[in-house]
Amino acid sequence: MLGTWRWNVVFGIFGTVLTVAFSIGNNPIVVMLLRSMYAFIAFFVLAYGVRAILAYILQPPSLVGDSLEDNDGKGTQLDLKTPDESADLNALLKSQLQDGGSSPTTDSHNNAAVDFKPLSPPQLLSTKNTQPEELVKAIRHLTGE
């Protein structure tokens, strides 16, 4: 169940306070205390039912067909091991020392730089030498007139 018996006591005290508040002006003290005791007992027992219903509603749904035994070890460990590339790094450094700074990787970068051709977009037309009638036609066309 959700919570402890202390919630039942709090709920019972809440019922007692409500009973006293609504009956203090209409009943004698003895009747009021007797009815507040009955209200405490009723609210105390009622709290068990409320807690049971809340526990049932708030429990996480169980998936049908899933077995917890199969998934016990899955997803609990993460391996962050990187591959050992020290031999490749040493070979690269040796080749740079022997070739005087040029390596196969820098040669491939140089070849790629030779093959590179920057984007050359078409030139935009200038409106300096156009006739005023053509400009008016273009503006009317663009504005939809």
- The ranges assigned to domains in the chain are 5-58
Nearest to 12 by CA among 39, 49, 52, 50: 39
* Between 114 and 144, residue with greater pLDDT: 144
**Residues 118-143: what's their mean pLDDT?**
79
Nearest to 39 by CA among 27, 52, 55, 54: 27
Question: Minimum mean pLDDT among 4-8, 52-56, 103-107: which range?
Answer: 103-107
Q: How confident is the model at residue 121 (pLDDT cuts 50, 70, 90)?
A: confident
Record the pTM.
0.41
Question: Does residue 83 sit in helix, strand or coil?
Answer: coil
Enter the tokens of residue 37: 């005791």
Tell me the per-residue pLDDT of 91-110, one tens digit each, with 9 for 90 and over.
888 888 887 655 455 555 55
